[in-house]
C-alpha cells in the first residue's frame, strides 16, 4: 500500500464534493493522494466522524447489528470505553456484505481503510483463505495475532483458526427454542434428533436455509456431526417428510415462530435474555439442547495484514479480551464471553443457557467441505 491511508482519512474531514459528484478518479500508484474532489464532510462516510488531527485512528470493520441493533449492541459502548483507555479514535465500518466486501476489494486490488475485522466465523475465514490467488488478491488478508494479552484466559475449544490469526471474543450456541404454551400448554420439545422425526412432532419445527443464514448453517452442520457426511441427507429427508419448514433467514423464521406457526425454531440458547428483559412469557422461550448438545459458533476478530496501525490494532484486540470488556460485550451482544472469568451479573447466567456438550467443526474439517455439503443439502431439499 503506497499511500498513507491515515493521511487520507485525516484529509477526509469531508467527502462532500466527491459524494455530490458521485464519482472519483484516484491515481492508482502515487506517493501522496491528490485530493481531486477529496472526501468531504463527516456526514458522508461511515469512516467519517471527523478525526481530530494528531489523535490516532482505528478503523474497525464489523457486521451492521454489532453497532446498530434495535435492542442492544456493543458498538457504541465499546467505542466509548476504547477511546477512554487509549488516546485514539475508533471508527466503525459496517458493510452490508460483511467480510465479502473486503474479499472483493482484495481481489479487485482496491485498497480499504479497515484495520481490524470483528465478527469473523470459521466459514468466513475459510472463504478468505480459499479466495487467495484470485485477481490481485495475493498477499494474506489477515495477519497473525501475535501477542494478545488475555489469550491465556480463553475458554477451551473456542479457538477456531489453526494459523492463529482470528482470536475469539465471544461465542453463541445454536439450539432449539420452543413454546410450552402451544397445544393447549401440552407441548414439550423432543430431546433427541431422532425424536424430532417422529410423527408426534409433525410440522412443528422451523429451521433456516444454510446458504443464507448462519443459524441454518450451524443446524445443518450439527446434523452432519450427528449423522455424518453420508447420513445427514437421509436424516433431512426424514425431517422433510415430517414437515420441517426451512425459511430464508433467522428473522423470517423467528417472525413465523412468534406468530405461533410452529412450536419450535432453530435459534440461540441466549433467547431468554431478551424475553426476560422485555418481560415476555418465558414459557414461550424455552431452550432445548438436542442430544444434550448445541452447535457452537465462536466469533473472532483479526487484524488486516496491510493495516498501517498494527500496534493500535493489537492493543484493540487485547482490550477486547479484558474481563470487564468481555462481560460488557457478552451482555450487549447477547452471547457468551470468550474468556473464563468475565464478571457477569447473576441473572445473566440464569437466562443464557450453555449446553452440557458444545459441538463444532474445526477449520480443517470444514475447509473444502462446507460448500459441498450446503450444495448437496440444497439440491436434496429443494428438489423434494
Residues 39-78 close enough to bind another protein by CB under 8 A: 42-49, 64-65, 67-71, 75-76
- The grid coordinates listed for 249 are 433467514
Cα–Cα distance measured from residue 118 to residue 15, given in angstroms and rounded to the nearest whole number: 26
Q: Which of 11, 58, 103, 145 binds another protein (CB under 8 A)?
A: 103
Cα–Cα distance measured from residue 79 to residue 105, given in angstroms and rounded to the nearest whole number: 26
Cα–Cα distance measured from residue 39 to residue 41, given in angstroms and rounded to the nearest whole number: 7
Is residue 19 part of the contact set for another protein (CB under 8 A)? yes
| Residue 73: CB atoms within 10 Å | 19
Q: How far, CA to CA in Å, does 155 sit from each of 84, 333, 338?
A: 27, 18, 6
| Residue 171: CB atoms within 10 Å | 23
Is residue 143 part of the contact set for another protein (CB under 8 A)? no
Burial environment of residue 358 by CB neighbours within 10 A (0 to 12, 13 to 18, 19 or more):
buried
Give, as ranges, the residues between 264 and 283 that touch another protein (CB under 8 A). 271, 274, 278, 280-281
Q: Are 126 and 367 in contact (CB under 8 A)?
A: yes
Give, as ranges, the residues between 201 and 230 that touch another protein (CB under 8 A). 209, 211-212
Is residue 261 part of the contact set for another protein (CB under 8 A)? yes
Min separation Cβ 108 and another protein, Å: 4
Give, as ranges, the residues between 342 and 381 that touch another protein (CB under 8 A). 371, 374, 378-379, 381
Segment interacting with another protein, rule: CB under 8 A, options 96-104, 289-297, 299-307, 308-316 = 96-104
Phi-psi group of 243: left, alpha or beta (phi > 0 → left; psi -120 to 50 → alpha; rest → beta)? left
Is residue 256 part of the contact set for another protein (CB under 8 A)? yes
Which residue's CB is nearer to another protein, number 267 or number 293? 267
Is residue 242 part of the contact set for another protein (CB under 8 A)? no
Is residue 35 part of the contact set for another protein (CB under 8 A)? no
Residues in the chain: 384
Segment interacting with another protein, rule: CB under 8 A, options 144-152, 221-229, 249-257, 324-332 = 249-257
Q: Which of 20, 188, 195, 282 binds another protein (CB under 8 A)?
A: 20
**Beta carbons within 8 Å of 350's beta carbon, 6+ residues apart:** none
**Beta carbons within 8 Å of 254's beta carbon, 6+ residues apart:** 265, 267
Min separation Cβ 237 and another protein, Å: 13
Segment interacting with another protein, rule: CB under 8 A, options 104-112, 143-151, 156-164, 361-369 = 104-112
Segment interacting with another protein, rule: CB under 8 A, options 36-44, 289-297, 305-313, 342-350 = 36-44
Strand 167-178 and strand 264-268: the pairing is antiparallel
| Residue 302: CB atoms within 10 Å | 25
Is residue 138 part of the contact set for another protein (CB under 8 A)? no
Min separation Cβ 146 and another protein, Å: 28
The size of the interface with another protein (CB under 8 A), counted in residues, is 80
What residues pair up with 154 in beta bridges, in sequence order?
339
Q: Are 287 and 176 in contact (CB under 8 A)?
A: yes
Min separation Cβ 150 and another protein, Å: 26
Min separation Cβ 371 and another protein, Å: 5
Amino acid at each position: 500500500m503506497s499511500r498513507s491511508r491515515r493521511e487520507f482519512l485525516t484529509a477526509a474531514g469531508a467527502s462532500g464534493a466527491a459524494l455530490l459528484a458521485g464519482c472519483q478518479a484516484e491515481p492508482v500508484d502515487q506517493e501522496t493522494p491528490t485530493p481531486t474532489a477529496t472526501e468531504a464532510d463527516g456526514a458522508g462516510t461511515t469512516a467519517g466522524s471527523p478525526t481530530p488531527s494528531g489523535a490516532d485512528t482505528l478503523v474497525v470493520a464489523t457486521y451492521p447489528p454489532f453497532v446498530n441493533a434495535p435492542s442492544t449492541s456493543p458498538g457504541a459502548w465499546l467505542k466509548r470505553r476504547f477511546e477512554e483507555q487509549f488516546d485514539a479514535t475508533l471508527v466503525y465500518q459496517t458493510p452490508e456484505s460483511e467480510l465479502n466486501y473486503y474479499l472483493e476489494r482484495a481481489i479487485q486490488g482496491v485498497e480499504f481503510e479497515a484495520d481490524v475485522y470483528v465478527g469473523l466465523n470459521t466459514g468466513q475465514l475459510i472463504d478468505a483463505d480459499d479466495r487467495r490467488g484470485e485477481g490481485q488478491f495475493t498477499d494474506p488478508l489477515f495477519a497473525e495475532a501475535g501477542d494478545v494479552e488475555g489469550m491465556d484466559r480463553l475458554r477451551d475449544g473456542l479457538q477456531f483458526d489453526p494459523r492463529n490469526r482470528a482470536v475469539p471474543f465471544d461465542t453463541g450456541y445454536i439450539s432449539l427454542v420452543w413454546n410450552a404454551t402451544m397445544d393447549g400448554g401440552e407441548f414439550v420439545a423432543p430431546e433427541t434428533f431422532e425424536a424430532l422425526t417422529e410423527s408426534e412432532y409433525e410440522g412443528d419445527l422451523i429451521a433456516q436455509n444454510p446458504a443464507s443464514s448462519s443459524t441454518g448453517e450451524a443446524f445443518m452442520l450439527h446434523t452432519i456431526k450427528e449423522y455424518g457426511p453420508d447420513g445427514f441427507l437421509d436424516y433431512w429427508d426424514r425431517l422433510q417428510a415430517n414437515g420441517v419448514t426451512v425459511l430464508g433467514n433467522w428473522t423470517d423464521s423467528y417472525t413465523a415462530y412468534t406468530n405461533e406457526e410452529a412450536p419450535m425454531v432453530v435459534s440461540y440458547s441466549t433467547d431468554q435474555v431478551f424475553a426476560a428483559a422485555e418481560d415476555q412469557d418465558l414459557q414461550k422461550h424455552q431452550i432445548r439442547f438436542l442430544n444434550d448438545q448445541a452447535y457452537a459458533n465462536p466469533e473472532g476478530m483479526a487484524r488486516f495484514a496491510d493495516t498501517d496501525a498494527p500496534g493500535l490494532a493489537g492493543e484493540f484486540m487485547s482490550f477486547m479480551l479484558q474481563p470487564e470488556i468481555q462481560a460488557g460485550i457478552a451482555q450487549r451482544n447477547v452471547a457468551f464471553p470468550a474468556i473464563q472469568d468475565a464478571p457477569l451479573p447473576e441473572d445473566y447466567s440464569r437466562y443464557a443457557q450453555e449446553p452440557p456438550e458444545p459441538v463444532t467443526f474445526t477449520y480443517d474439517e470444514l475447509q473444502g467441505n462446507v460448500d459441498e455439503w450446503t450444495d448437496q443439502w440444497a439440491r436434496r431439499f429443494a428438489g423434494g
